[in-house]
Structure 1
Amino acid sequence: MEIKAEELLYKLQQGEEQGWPNVMAVYGEEDYYRSKIAAVVPEYVFKGVDPADRDITVFEKDTDLRQLAAVINTYPFFCGKSLVLLKDDKNWTRQESESKKQQLDKLAEILGDVPDYCTVFISAPKLDKRTKLFKQLKKQGLVCECLSIKSYELGPWLEEQASKYDARWERDAIGVVLEYLAPVEKAPLQLLQQEIAKLAVYAGERKTWTKNDVEEIFAALPEVSGFAITNSLADHDLAETLLLLAVERKKGTNILPVCALIMFKLRQMLQFMELRRQGYDQKGIAAELKLHPYVARKMQGQCRQFTEETLQQALLAISAMNTDIRKGGRDYARLEEIMVLLLGNK
């Protein structure tokens, strides 16, 4: 059977008997969900059993299949239950050698006959869906793929996180978070959760989280300092943009990621202006560019202060600068000159 990561995590946390198979495979690139699920599995399996009496075996590297089979088939002495954690990545990727195929077939054989007293939990970044092993896990066990969440799709996840603190976001507060993350394709869930925990402490008994709260707390996100620069640029604020660039230069920040964020913002604004010229309304533009309504509304005002020509010229200048930097050219001083040309006149 297959199950979504959010659902599996929730049901494991509830601790209720689900009648699930005793072989579970959790895989995928989103380590946030895999680590969360792995953390609650022991409590689910050994509900009410003292930690000292729990029979847990972990295989992380160079798994010996004979030893694995022996552990699975050895009845636990203390509590009548055992848990085997399989985290050896080499077990799950199909290779074309005959010996590897035989190993995978042997592993499938072992996992196809796990006694009722034993639970086997598999955690892996990848599982090859073409293998006999995966097909068997899907048919006889439980498989859960942990997919990354795109930054622009993060709204429901953020609402769910707030609800854990009996709190809610103001609409513009979620908009600011999504604006911070706009240059990032995959949302950094682990880091976001840490910042949300800090936000809950900061807000205290106040259960409505505001835009100002987000701006005060989310300083640890690596995108925030870059966002401050692109935001001042989009607001056509030359003095603030130069000040923020000076701060990054003083910190020794590599200029190439800074340029990448600025170029992302310039392209985004150009796309916004092009769609507006084609007759799209704000709602349509937000849908096309996958923007939160708050971000789209804000960008509409920002774009009025630029022309497509000036944005294109700045993009070309930064692109040329990046090429020259790799040949030993100037960096922050030249970027500042480009910003002066872009923002120097209203």
Structure 2
Amino acid sequence: MEIKPEELLFRLQQGKPLPDLSGIIAVYGEEDYYRSQIAAAAPAFIFAGIDEADREITIFDKDTDLRQMAAVVNTYPFFCGRSLVILKDEKLWGGKQDSDSKKQQLDKLADILSDVPEYCTVLICASKLDKRTKLFKLLKKQALLCECASLRPYDLAPWLERQAEQYGARWERDAVGTVLEYLAPVERAPLQLLQQEIAKLAVYAGERKTWTKADVEEIFSALPETSSFALLNFICDRKLPEALRLLADERKKGGNILPICALIMFKLRQMLQFMELRQHGYDLKGATAELKLHPYAAKKMQEQCRRFQPESLQQALLDLTQLNIDLRRGGRGYERLEEILLCLIG
């Protein structure tokens, strides 16, 4: 049976029964945030009411001997009548899955897991599982299967709301929009880092339970996109002195100019896409859905696009592309980027 990571984590933390638990919980996927949270919550759930000293937990995280694992799974726990086996050795399912030795190893693991005693729970934590294998087919049939896929930034709003609820708080609309704008250029939302920043935000806000845009701008300093986000805002608002000042700061710190150029190019392409959609008859709601933007970010982009002509954005993109080529040939960096910004917003 399949279960979503949010539901599984909630049930474990709240001590609520798990559906169709057959002794195996398989948690897999590229989002380490959920996998680590579930692994941390599982012992208290499995051993509810049992002292930590009496809990029988065995972790296999490297160089797993499957014979030893089989012995642990099938040995009745002496102290509390329950045992937990946590299997997170990536070498078991990593590497070349098509090799004979790897296939034999996975098949042997499947055989062990095909008959888990009722007193034992096996928790599998894997970044990736090959769905073609005998092991995965067994897990799909007998285990509680939980896929932890990464969240894209445009899907992050419900997750942010749930995080605030844990502190008895709520976000203002502009606050959520600002977080999503920070993360718009990235492929995957850094949930672990976001959780840390939200914890700091809760401490910062104290008894005040409504979190504002100003709170986000004050606290979310650890996000690597934050300073670049400020630069993008200055560019889109045509604030040349402020943009040049930030560039000068990055230059003094020895920051790599290539990621900065990449973020600027991402933003300019996004603005051009927005303009093109509007020219083809999309209303604001339609363009928002097409580009997978938060409504707050879309409204802000609409205001920013009014300050530019498509031709100037296209020329800046061509200039930035050439800058990237020249940099790899030893050409000028920050000076040339300043010239491009002068032409775009000067």
Same fold per TM (> 0.5)? Answer: yes
- Alpha-carbon distance, 1:305 to partner: 1.2
Per-residue CA shift, 1:64-107, capped at 9, x if unaligned?
11111111111111111111111111223573333332222221
- Alpha-carbon distance, 1:259 to partner: 0.3
Q: Which residue of 1 aligns with 2:22?
A: 21
- Alpha-carbon distance, 1:62 to partner: 1.8
Q: Which residue of 2 aligns with 1:199?
A: 201
Q: Does 1:260 align with 2:262?
A: yes
C-alpha distance in 2 between matches for 1:338 and 1:102: 58
C-alpha distance in 1 between matches for 2:218 and 2:319: 34
Q: How does 1:24-63 map to 2 (within 5 A)?
A: 24-63=25-64
**Which amino acid is the alignment partner of residue 323 of structure 1?**
I
Percent identity of equivalent pairs: 71
Q: How does 1:163-174 map to 2 (within 5 A)?
A: 163-174=165-176
- Alpha-carbon distance, 1:343 to partner: 0.9
Q: Which residue of 1 aligns with 2:184?
A: 182
1:229 to 231, 234, 239: 231
C-alpha distance in 2 between matches for 1:316 and 1:163: 45
* Unaligned 5+ runs, structure 1: none
C-alpha distance in 1 between matches for 2:152 and 2:243: 28
Which SS does the other structure have where 1:107 is aligned?
helix
Q: Which residue of 2 aligns with 1:8?
A: 8
Which SS does the other structure have where 2:225 is aligned?
helix
Which SS does the other structure have where 1:222 is aligned?
coil
Would the alpha carbon gap of residues 96 and 300 (structure 1) be closer, same or farther in structure 2, given more than 3 Å must change?
Answer: closer
Q: Which residue of 1 aligns with 2:213?
A: 211
Q: Which residue of 1 aligns with 2:99?
A: 97
Per-residue CA shift, 1:125-180, capped at 9, x if unaligned?
01111111111111111111001111011111111111111111111111111111
- Alpha-carbon distance, 1:330 to partner: 0.8
- Alpha-carbon distance, 1:335 to partner: 0.3
C-alpha distance in 1 between matches for 2:313 and 2:135: 53
C-alpha distance in 1 between matches for 2:28 and 2:195: 21
Query: When the two structures are superposed, what TM-score results if normalisation uses the length of structure 1?
Result: 0.97
Which SS does the other structure have where 2:49 is aligned?
coil
Q: How does 1:179-328 map to 2 (within 5 A)?
A: 179-328=181-330
C-alpha distance in 1 between matches for 2:81 and 2:170: 44
Query: When the two structures are superposed, what TM-score results if normalisation uses the length of structure 2?
Result: 0.97
2:337 to 332, 335, 338: 335
- Stretch deviating more after TM superposition (284-293 or 225-234): 284-293
C-alpha distance in 1 between matches for 2:56 and 2:295: 51
**Which amino acid is the alignment partner of residue 316 of structure 1?**
L
Q: Does 1:107 align with 2:109?
A: yes
- Stretch deviating more after TM superposition (274-283 or 113-122): 274-283
Per-residue CA shift, 1:16-74, capped at 9, x if unaligned?
33351211110000000000000011111111111111111111112111111111111
C-alpha distance in 1 between matches for 2:42 and 2:211: 32
**Which amino acid is the alignment partner of residue 60 of structure 1?**
D
* Unaligned 5+ runs, structure 2: none
Number of paired residues?
344
Per-residue CA shift, 1:261-301, capped at 9, x if unaligned?
00011111111111122222211111111111111111111
Which SS does the other structure have where 2:59 is aligned?
strand
C-alpha distance in 2 between matches for 1:192 and 1:120: 30
Which SS does the other structure have where 1:147 is aligned?
coil
2:120 to 118, 121, 127: 118
**Which amino acid is the alignment partner of residue 67 of structure 2?**
R
**Which amino acid is the alignment partner of residue 262 of structure 2?**
A
- Alpha-carbon distance, 1:204 to partner: 1.0
RMSD: 1.2
C-alpha distance in 2 between matches for 1:73 and 1:61: 20
**Which amino acid is the alignment partner of residue 224 of structure 1?**
T
**Which amino acid is the alignment partner of residue 299 of structure 2?**
R
